[in-house]
């Protein structure tokens, strides 16, 4: 079904970037825990939040207050824009580069002339992207684990929820990777695919922000993938992970299925 030769080659090409992402995400989790455990920030943040306009308080207030607990800090580490952005870069670049980018560069032509079915290449790419994103998220788990070991005060954090919140982040970025693959499968240029996927992701992000800020448009939240990554709720023990995983997982599967079909059927221009 898959091609280990292809998978090995992809991992080999990106191993340094993957290692960097693993360390970056891991260190970030340690840093977040250090920040929360090492300082009494509650009063300061409360004062600060009171200065903000009411809409901004809605956007940041609850999250910030929750994050000042250990559980909140752990959740925040898996929802921080830097971490999410880093993983989104990996999620978008891999399929955009290895489908549309390789069509543009001409190397996919050589690969498709080999005695291997195209769907095996596409399926392998989807799986290796998922695997690499999981490794990056595992960097977060490793960082959280190290933080919990370093700070005895933090040891109360429930491990299963930490794993759950990481899985939630993984599903979010894997979904992004899947729709990027669908976009790339219809394109002949890596740069354009990257921009389109990044643009769509930004639209989803702003839809989510709009839905939080303005109750009138909160129905939008159901149509944005970011709504289905709720690390705070997962860390607080709310049973949202199953539903969110079902939505994101289904979306990822549909996008990947359509992308694999398109890769198998499309013309490869010279």
Partner 1 sequence: MPILEVLELAKSYGSVVGVEGLTLSVEEGEIFGFLGPNGAGKTTTIRLVMSLLHPDRGSITLFGVPLRGEAASVRQRIGYLPGEFRPYVEMTGVHFLDYMARFRAGAPKLRADLLDRLELAAATLERPIKHLSHGNRQKLGIVQALEHEPDLAVLDEPTLGLDPLMQEAFYDIVRLLRERGKCVFLSSHVLSEVEKVCERVAIIRDGSLVALESIEALKHKCPRRLIVVLDATVSSKAPLLPGARLLAQHGERSEYRVDGDVRAILQELTTCPVRDVILPEPDLEDVFMAYYQDGDA
By CB under 8 A, name the binding residues for partner 1. 3, 5, 9, 13, 105-107, 109-118, 264-265, 267-268, 270
Shortest Cβ distance from residue 116 to partner 1 (Å)?
Answer: 5
Between the alpha carbon of residue 99 and those of residues 125, 186, 242, the distances in Å are 9, 9, 31
Using DSSP, state whether 24 is helix, strand or coil.
helix
Shortest Cβ distance from residue 137 to partner 1 (Å)?
Answer: 27
Between the alpha carbon of residue 148 and those of residues 36, 84, 239, the distances in Å are 12, 22, 24
Shortest Cβ distance from residue 263 to partner 1 (Å)?
Answer: 11
Shortest Cβ distance from residue 258 to partner 1 (Å)?
Answer: 18
Shortest Cβ distance from residue 93 to partner 1 (Å)?
Answer: 15
C-beta of 52 vs 116, nearer to partner 1: 116
C-beta of 1 vs 160, nearer to partner 1: 1
C-beta of 114 vs 217, nearer to partner 1: 114
C-beta of 19 vs 246, nearer to partner 1: 19
Shortest Cβ distance from residue 129 to partner 1 (Å)?
Answer: 18
- For residue 230 the two structure tokens come to 């709720």
Tokens 């199953």 identify what position?
242
Shortest Cβ distance from residue 100 to partner 1 (Å)?
Answer: 15
- For residue 109 the two structure tokens come to 């032509």
CB 171 within 8 A of CB 252: yes
CA distance 184 to 136: 22
C-beta of 112 vs 151, nearer to partner 1: 112
- Give per-residue burial for 219-257: e unless 16+ CB within 10 Å, then b: ebbeebbbbbbbbbbbbeeeebbeebbebbeebbeebbe
C-beta of 3 vs 21, nearer to partner 1: 3
CA distance 189 to 100: 5
Shortest Cβ distance from residue 269 to partner 1 (Å)?
Answer: 8
Angle at 116 between CA 110 and CA 119, to 5 degrees: 100
C-beta of 118 vs 229, nearer to partner 1: 118
C-beta of 81 vs 270, nearer to partner 1: 270
Query: Among candidates 69, 79, 83, which has minimal Cα distance to 35?
Result: 69
Helix (H) or strand (E) holding 146: helix 118-150
CB 185 within 8 A of CB 262: yes
């Amino acid at each position: 079904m898959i091609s280990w030769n292809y998978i090995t080659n992809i991992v080999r090409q990106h191993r340094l970037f993957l290692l960097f992402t693993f360390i970056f995400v891991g260190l970030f989790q340690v840093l977040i825990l250090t920040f929360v455990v090492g300082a009494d920030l509650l009063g300061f943040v409360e004062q600060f939040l009171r200065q903000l306009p009411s809409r901004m308080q809605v956007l940041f207030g609850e999250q910030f207050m929750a994050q000042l607990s250990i559980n909140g800090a752990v959740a925040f580490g898996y929802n921080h824009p830097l971490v999410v952005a880093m993983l989104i870069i990996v999620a978008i670049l891999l399929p955009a580069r290895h489908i549309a980018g390789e069509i543009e560069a001409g190397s996919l032509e050589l690969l498709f002339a080999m005695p291997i079915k195209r769907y095996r290449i596409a399926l392998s790419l989807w799986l290796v992207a998922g695997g690499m994103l999981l490794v990056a998220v595992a960097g977060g788990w490793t960082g959280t684990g190290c933080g919990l070991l370093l700070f005895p005060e933090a040891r109360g954090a429930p491990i299963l929820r930490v794993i759950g919140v990481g899985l939630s982040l993984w599903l979010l970025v894997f979904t992004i990777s899947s729709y990027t693959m669908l976009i790339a499968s219809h394109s002949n240029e890596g740069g354009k695919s990257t921009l389109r996927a990044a643009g769509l992701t930004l639209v989803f992000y702003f839809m989510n922000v709009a839905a939080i800020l303005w109750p009138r448009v909160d129905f939008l939240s159901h149509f944005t993938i970011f709504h289905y990554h709720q690390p705070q709720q997962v860390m607080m023990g709310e049973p949202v992970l199953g539903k969110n995983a079902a939505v994101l997982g289904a979306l990822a599967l549909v996008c990947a299925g359509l992308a694999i079909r398109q890769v198998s059927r499309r013309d490869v221009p010279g």
